[in-house]
Chain A
């Protein structure tokens, strides 16, 4: 088990990353879901822009951020000596 001197800063960074990302992703989904229809009168690639934003852009961005999170959290684990390989 990690000693408190290392664990406390590690946990501060980990919890901040998890909560901020979860909040940001849900904000993205909420904006895409509830307000994207404002842009439906514009078209891009044959799609109403609102559908394109909610049904494509938000989804792909969130998937990218999820993979970014796994890499970033692993770096955090490494930097604070909490990695499972150590």
Chain B
């Protein structure tokens, strides 16, 4: 007898209510301290440290010794809390800062990116979540292995998953390397060490269980950090606290200011390409781009490639497995979509408010009296002002912002106090940490299961300590290697995030979709589909220098990515038609995965493997 409600802790809501109350209480306490004269510098990292400490506390409290808890959180995560994790993992710190920068510089055309993330979570919820949950597997390659009953396919898929997972992990560490020194007040390398240590303290005690509960806390930090500063700025600029419903009234004002401040309008495609470069830009494109924007075809292809990348992101797909059942899995993606929807309502408000502050003549910056924060942001490489016309005033086109600097500049530009600045900074650090942990854990499971030559022994002893120790070792090594790589080389976080999405979309989406929804699909088709997707998308990344350049024939990374997805689909279908027809056992397995009722397939396989091990050892 299976019940969807049987295992969920009824006090979870209370625990996270306490977490939220403690965090808000800390914000209020810091506001009081600041009012008493504690200097801003001490406040800037206070909430980041608090968010990390609270998350580590949750993770340590969720320490576990059982395999079921370590790899799938005991399959008792409620839908709402899983939705929080889906939200924070799907965007991460690199995505959040990149999306913010895109909204700020691109205006309404940036909805293509936002809708892409939104559509990705929706696609997973509609087309994959329930089947992944029923399969009950711990990794995406294991899903293919169970579906096609082929160890070889599991290994190939494991190799293919490594590339996007590695790109996503490096993207999160890269954003930490960029914003960490300013937020934590330490060097870039120390920032990376801090994130590495905190990530290990979150993952090592209890694997997916400790990481998942800590990610819920980090997601709450992200949501609060997005909402509270915006409410305050909305009160200042529009006299109403609900920015999502009031920012529209400022769009006309900004257009009127622009005529005063003579901002040249540029090609939207140049602005979009500029987001892939490590440069500071002035805001030149109007928020309402209209016909002069990216164009319907470009926006559609951008939305689609991001949606497919998010939908097949291994860390996101596998969150279906931690819920208590198929119904809860579907519902958790609806919650995830609701939170992404909140982000879509919120980020344009941030973009409009920041534009309003830059273009408003009453908020002009005078060269003879430059605020102190400008030197702080300039020193961090996010912000630059230069009096080009020599009139002693800084006009809008003389303010240059980097893509990742737009978000961290917001509280300074709005004149928010140190506590609110700290709240914004904690947001981006929490998002990056939560996402980094998810990528690292994906890697750990990949090496513990799919790329492990002793997989059958592990499956027979999945509840034992050996596999968990091995996973912890892999997690430690991979996280350390990623931190070392980011320390040694300067990567662009948004480029890496976008590259991860392209590879994920091309390599995994066609394979997952065909494996679930097409009975004729077989391991031949899957093999060729996976390889085609990885090779073409990696080739696209190479020839476009991770999207920073245009490929031959004027093709950009988005077009190449869409082409790679189409080729992967076609090759998968042709390969499946050429290969042998699925056997009765293959179809039985598919039917079982498609049926919500009954025990999870992988759970049953593990249960049946246990006596075999006992017998052989006896």
Binding site for B on A (CB under 8 A): 1-2, 7, 10-11, 14-15, 18, 21-22, 25-26, 29-30, 32-35, 37, 40, 45-48, 50-52, 54-56, 59-60, 62-63, 66-67, 69-70, 73-74, 77, 81-86
7 contacts between A and B (CB under 8 A): A18-B127, A29-B118, A51-B248, A60-B341, A69-B126, A82-B595, A86-B597
Assuming the A-B contacts A18-B126, A34-B300, A66-B122, are A46 and B334 also in contact, with contact meaning beta carbons closer than 8 angstroms in the complex? no
Within 8 A of A (CB), among B120-150: 122-123, 125-127, 130
Name A's interface SS: helix
A47 and B290 form a contact (CB under 8 A): no
Chain A residues whose C-beta falls within 8 Å of the C-beta of B488 in the assembled complex:
none
- The distance in angstroms between the C-alpha atoms of A81 and B558, with both chains bound, is 43
Question: How far, in whole Å, are A63 and B291 apart by their CA atoms in the complex?
Answer: 28
Q: Is the CB of B597 within 8 A of A37?
A: no
Q: Which of B566-608 contact A (CB under 8 A)?
A: 588, 591-592, 594-598
Instruction: Tell me how far the C-beta of A51 lies from the nearest C-beta in chain B, rounded to whole angstroms.
Output: 6
Interchain CB contact under 8 A, B300 and A70? no
CB pair A62 B248 closer than 8 Å: no
Question: In whole angstroms, how far apart are the Cα atoms of A27 and B473 in the complex?
Answer: 46
Shortest CB–CB separation between residue B263 and chain A, in angstroms?
Answer: 19
> Is the beta-carbon distance between B291 and A37 smaller than 8 angstroms?
yes
Chain B window 399-439, contacts with chain A (Cβ cutoff 8 Å), 1 for yes, 0 for no: 00000000000000000000000000000000000000000
Q: Contact: B596 with A51, CB < 8 Å?
A: no
A82–B238 alpha-carbon span in the complex (Å): 52
- List residues of B (1-38) whose CB comes within 8 Å of A's CBs: 2-4
Are A54 and B111 closer than 8 Å at their CB atoms? yes
The answer, yes or no, to whether B337 is at the interface (CB within 8 Å) is yes
Residue among B119, B248, B325 making CB contact with A48, cutoff 8 Å: B248
A54 to B248, CA, bound (A): 13
Prevailing SS type, chain B contact patch? helix
The A-B contact count (CB < 8 A) is: 139
Q: How far is the CA of A2 from the CA of B331 in the complex (A)?
A: 23
Enumerate chain B interface residues (CB-CB to A < 8 A).
Answer: 2-4, 108, 111-112, 115, 118-119, 122-123, 125-127, 130, 244-246, 248-249, 251, 288-291, 293, 296, 299-300, 303, 307, 325-327, 330-331, 333-334, 337-338, 341, 344-345, 348, 517, 588, 591-592, 594-598
Residue in A closest to B287 when the chains form the complex, CB atoms: A51
A48-B288, A62-B118 as given contacts; A85 in contact with B303, CB under 8 Å? no
Cβ of A30 to closest chain B Cβ, rounded Å: 6
* C-alpha spacing A2/B115, complex, angstroms: 37
Which of A11, A67, A84 has the most CB atoms of chain B within a 10 A radius of its CB? A84
- Measured CB to CB, the nearest residue on chain A to B592 is A1
For A29, the chain B residues whose CB sits under 8 A away are 115, 118-119, 303
CA distance A2 to B4 in the complex (A): 19
Residue from A18, A56, A70, A85 within 8 A of B3 (CB atoms): A85
Smallest Cβ-Cβ distance to A8: which chain B residue: B591
Chain A residues with CB below 8 A from B325, complex form? 84
* B330 contacts across to A, CB distance below 8 A: 69-70, 73-74
Residues of A within 8 A of B334 (CB): 63, 66-67, 69-70
Taking the nearest CB of chain B, how far is it from the CB of A19, in angstroms?
8
Would you give the shortest CB distance from A50 to chain B, in whole angstroms?
8
A2-B595, A59-B118 as given contacts; A34 in contact with B248, CB under 8 Å: no
Q: Give the shortest distance, in Å, between B510 (CB) and chain A (any CB).
A: 15
Q: Which of B108, B130, B337, B338 contacts A54 (CB 8 A)?
A: B108
Which B residue's beta carbon lies closest to that of A73?
B330
Q: Which residues of A contact B299 (CB under 8 A)?
A: 33-34
Task: List the B side residues contacting A67 at CB < 8 Å.
Answer: 331, 334, 338
**Residues on B with beta carbons closer than 8 Å to the beta carbon of A69:** 125-126, 330, 334
Residues of A within 8 A of B596 (CB): 77, 82-84
Please determine whether B327 and A84 come into contact, CB atoms closer than 8 angstroms. yes
Smallest distance from the beta carbon of B79 to chain A beta carbons, Å?
8
Please, how many angstroms separate the alpha-carbon atoms of A20 and B7 in the complex?
33
